[in-house]
Amino acid sequence: MKTNTQIRQDLSDAPDLSAVAVMDNGLTQITVSVMNLTATGAQIEVHVPTQLPPMLSLLVNGRLKSCEVIWQFTQFAGLRFLGVQAN
């Protein structure tokens, strides 16, 4: 079994992933690129001008993760996955 550090390294070496940001109780869905993915969060790039809400879900790698938007600057945003504790 891989450690969290090994998983983070594998993901950071991977090419950008496509994901879907799900907002407004599923009424709004936008495609985003995942620039960086760790066990506790992600950095995404939004391809359409959008002010993200404070909370959203991210569908990435077939998993839906509840997220808090920590920061947003133009088309980039940092997300923290809820219910996950850092090691």
pLDDT at 85 over 80: no
Note down the domain range covering 54: 4-81
Number of domains forming the structure of the chain: 1
Question: Does the global pTM surpass 0.85?
Answer: no
**What pLDDT, on the 0 to 100 scale, is given for residue 53?**
97
Residue 38 lies in a domain: yes
Residue 87 lies in a domain: no
Please state, in angstroms and rounded to a whole number, the distance separating the CA atoms of residues 68 and 81.
7
> Cα separations (Å) of 67 from 1, 6, 7, 47, 53?
26, 23, 19, 19, 10
Binned at pLDDT 50, 70 and 90, residue 15 comes out as: low
User: Which CATH number goes with the domain that contains 25?
Assistant: 2.40.10.220
Per DSSP, the residues of 5-50 read HHHHHHHHHSPPEEEEEEEGGGTEEEEEEEEEE-SSEEEEEESS--
